[in-house]
Structures are given as structure tokens and as C-alpha cells.
Amino acid sequence: MVTIFSIYAVYTRLLSLRFEVLGESVHHLLTWAGTLFIVFFTPIYFSLKRVYAKHYRTLLGVHMFGNLIAAMFVSLHFTHQISRPATAYPNLATGIVLYPAVLLLVLAGFVLAFGFSEKYRAWRFFHTSLAVTFYLVIVVHVLHGLGII
């Protein structure tokens, strides 16, 4: 609910992320923080849940809530981008693929976490496939955003 309200507030300009901290816009800092959490903690979680099986619930909680906050940060960035006026509208490029991948990752995570599906293995495969998609597209998205490609 916090994410939905925040997205609405950014889109309608009740909440402005159009200011800078340390020379970088806040919406970019938020998305970097969210992306870096996903990029680094996901493989750490994948490894640690096997090594420290008795701490699985704690690791799962950090994975779920951390990634929900990360998805909220990415959502704020995407909403900021699409709410810009037509004269300053960005080239969404790979962001148009990346954002649905993040949303679908969250959806698949909810299905897995709350057992909405009896086809658990298929949902695990779908969730993992979306994570791989995220990793591939984020590399291209960052390189494109930095003007390298």
C-alpha cells in the first residue's frame, strides 16, 4: 500500500523527487539503491539459504522485504520518468522492459510466498527466469543510461 500511495503521489506531483543530493537526483539515488540491493543480495540470499539452512526464515524475510523496498524505489524512479511533461519525456528504451520484469518478479514472489498456486515448481522457474531477465536487462539499461551503448 505504501508503494501504491507513493507512486500516486509522485505521478500527481504531491511528492516531488525533483531535487538533488550530492549532485544526483533523488529518484536516481533511490533506484540505484534498490537496484544494487537486488543485484547483490539476491545471489547472496541464494547461497546463504543453502549454507545456513536453519536461518532460512530470517534470510527469506530480508529477501522479501528488502526486495519489496527495492521495487518501491525502482517504481518511484519509473513513475518519475513517465510523469515528465511531453517536452521533457525520456526515451524509456530498456526501462520499458525492465520495469515489467520487476513487477512480475514481485508478483511471482507473492505467489511463492503465500502459496497461491499448487504449481510451485513452475512459479519457482518463472521467478528465477524473471530474475535472470532483470540481470540481463539492467546491465544494458545502465550502460545505455551512462551513454556507453
Point out the domain boundary residue: 46, 68, 89.
Answer: 89
Instruction: Please give the pLDDT value at position 58.
Output: 92
Same domain, yes or no: 121 and 140: yes
**Count of C-beta atoms within a 10 Å radius of residue 74:** 28
Instruction: Please give the pLDDT value at position 48.
Output: 92
Q: Tell me if the pTM is above 0.85.
A: no
Same domain, yes or no: 25 and 85: yes
Same domain, yes or no: 45 and 69: yes
| DSSP β-bridge partners for residue 21 | 24
Same domain, yes or no: 85 and 96: no
Alpha-carbon torsion (148, 26, 42, 128), positive or negative: negative
Same domain, yes or no: 77 and 127: no
Residue recorded with cell 523496498: 69
Instruction: Please give the pLDDT value at position 41.
Output: 92
**Could you tell me the residue range of the domain that residue 144 belongs to?**
91-149
Same domain, yes or no: 59 and 105: no
Same domain, yes or no: 85 and 112: no
Same domain, yes or no: 39 and 78: yes
Instruction: Please give the pLDDT value at position 65.
Output: 93
Same domain, yes or no: 49 and 120: no
pLDDT digits (tens), the chain, 149 positions:
888 888 888 888 887 777 777 887 888 888 889 999 999 999 999 899 889 989 988 998 999 999 999 999 999 888 888 777 777 666 667 777 888 899 999 988 888 888 766 667 788 888 889 999 989 988 888 888 778 88
